[in-house]
Amino acid sequence: MRKNAIVLLLATITLLTYSCKKGLPENPAKAPNSPDDEIALNAVGVSGPKSVVYVEVNSNDFSNVGKYSLATGQPLFDIGIIFAANINYNTSTQAAYLYFNPQVTTVLNNRATTIQPLQAKGIKVLLSILGNHQGAGFCNFPNQAAAQAFAQQLANAVTTYGLDGIDFDDEYADYGVNGTGQPNASSFVYLITALRQLMPNKIISFYYYGPAASRLSYNGVTVGSQINYSWNAIYGSFSVPNVPGLTAASLGPAAINITATSASTATSLATQTVNGNYGVYLCYNLPNNDVSGYLTNVSNVLYGQSTVYNSGTGTTGVKFYQHINNGGTATSSIPKGNYTLSQLQAYGFVNDWASSVTIPAGWTVIMYSNNNFGGTSWTLASSNANFTALSPNANDVVSSVRIQ
């Protein structure tokens, strides 16, 4: 078992359920698998496997995911996973419900500082769903309607908190507790199919473990046809998940525990990933301290680049100022990435407000007068203390930015 026991406080967050259609669709929506879809899901954009990392938010800061980059400035991690929300069981209604413990709640409620800055860099943020010793799991819904109702709760959470998808981890369900049923053949397929229909353009991933790992097909529909990725669940090992419908590009046979797997093993697993043309490399348990030296062993193999850690305490990054000559209110340091207005606002930026900017040496900033990189643009290769001097005048008109 890879995770430490998680002490969860009892509280209920009940999300909306919905009226569901009967019967498994004959032609269920499939996970994105065209070249364009695959590019859209590749957060970093560098050649090589995607780096995925779980963060135990009960003890570690989720925003640490964004502090790691490659030597060229691109984020190291493509996908960061909030570990973990839970599938709980209401004994009164005899129904599963989605539960957030206090630490997960804090991450989600403070998404402007914990989630959106990562997404601004291109990092996808998923919410992992885990059993909670109450008998509720992904594999024992009593009927299709119950599976669809829970899928709706998951989709609601993704929408509410601006997430990029859901990760499934079939551990600690304790099937049979509280009079719940044992795993059945249809539940997981029903759940995944319903969630894909609700989230056609979001990421769905599966941690290859538990009863769900042997219940991946029902009535002609495979889980692999509905999800984007699956990865090995045993840290320090190389094992290809057997998920029909997924190709090597969507599989992660290598898995490491950052605080427990040796550097030599992590390097060897990275080499096997590259040699086998697999698309994912999984990391678990990103701590609060700097582990860039350890992760460099991996990134050198996967991408041919070292890993750099930015603690966030320095001044590396672009800063916009309210007035000319770097006066007035300033944003926090903004790292490299593409930023719409809402993403800039997470750093303290205000629409049609900036009058000057400081830019680190060697960086380039492209400013746009409209949101979503539209309208007039200005390209700056160095700091500028007076936007009124730009041609045309850029003072108090910037709404989106690309930082390279």
How many residues in the chain?
A: 404
Check if the beta carbon of residue 302 is closer than 8 Å to that of residue 270: yes
- 171 in active site: yes
Burial class (CB in 10 A: 0-12, 13-18, 19+), 379: exposed
pLDDT for 35 equals 31
pLDDT for 346 equals 81
**398: its two tokens:** 């910037």
pLDDT for 313 equals 53
Portion of the chain with pLDDT greater than 70, in percent? 87
* pLDDT value at 376 more than 80: yes
Check if the beta carbon of residue 329 is closer than 8 Å to that of residue 297: no
* pLDDT value at 348 more than 90: no
Higher-pLDDT residue of 121 and 131 is 131
Out of 86-95, 131-140, 328-337, least confident range: 328-337
Complete domains list, the chain, with CATH: 35-309 (3.20.20.80), 319-403 (2.60.20.10)
Portion of the chain with pLDDT greater than 90, in percent? 75
**143: its two tokens:** 């009927």
The active-site residue, picked from 26, 38, 56, 171, is: 171
Check if the beta carbon of residue 148 is closer than 8 Å to that of residue 193: no
Instruction: Provide the mean pLDDT of the chain.
Output: 88
Q: From residue 243, how far is each of 205, 215, 226, 395 by CA, in Å?
A: 11, 10, 11, 54
Residue range 286-311, pLDDT digits in tens:
999 999 999 999 999 999 988 888 87
Mean pLDDT across the stretch 350-358? 94
pTM of the model: 0.73
Give the pairing of strands 221-222 and 365-370: unpaired
The span from the CA of 38 to the CA of 47, in Å, is 13
pLDDT for 49 equals 95
Nearest to 125 by CA among 149, 137, 138, 107: 107
pLDDT for 46 equals 61
* pLDDT value at 396 more than 50: yes
Higher-pLDDT residue of 332 and 351 is 351
pLDDT for 2 equals 42
Residue range 230-249, pLDDT digits in tens:
999 999 999 999 999 999 99
Burial class (CB in 10 A: 0-12, 13-18, 19+), 389: exposed
Q: From residue 24, how far is each of 30, 56, 137, 223 by CA, in Å?
A: 14, 35, 20, 13
Backbone φ/ψ region at 273: left (φ over 0), alpha (ψ -120 to 50), beta: alpha
Residue range 16-51, pLDDT digits in tens:
333 332 233 333 344 443 333 333 344 344 678 999
The span from the CA of 38 to the CA of 386, in Å, is 41
The span from the CA of 392 to the CA of 22, in Å, is 59
Higher-pLDDT residue of 112 and 230 is 230
H/E stretch holding 343: helix 341-345
For 177, phi then psi, to 5°, come to -65, 150
pLDDT for 11 equals 36
* pLDDT value at 72 more than 80: no
Nearest to 283 by CA among 67, 74, 84, 50: 50
Check if the beta carbon of residue 291 is closer than 8 Å to that of residue 264: no
Mean pLDDT across the stretch 379-403? 95
User: What is the amino acid identity at position 363?
Assistant: W
| Model confidence band, residue 276 (pLDDT cutoffs 50, 70, 90) | very high
* pLDDT value at 358 more than 60: yes
Check if the beta carbon of residue 387 is closer than 8 Å to that of residue 395: yes
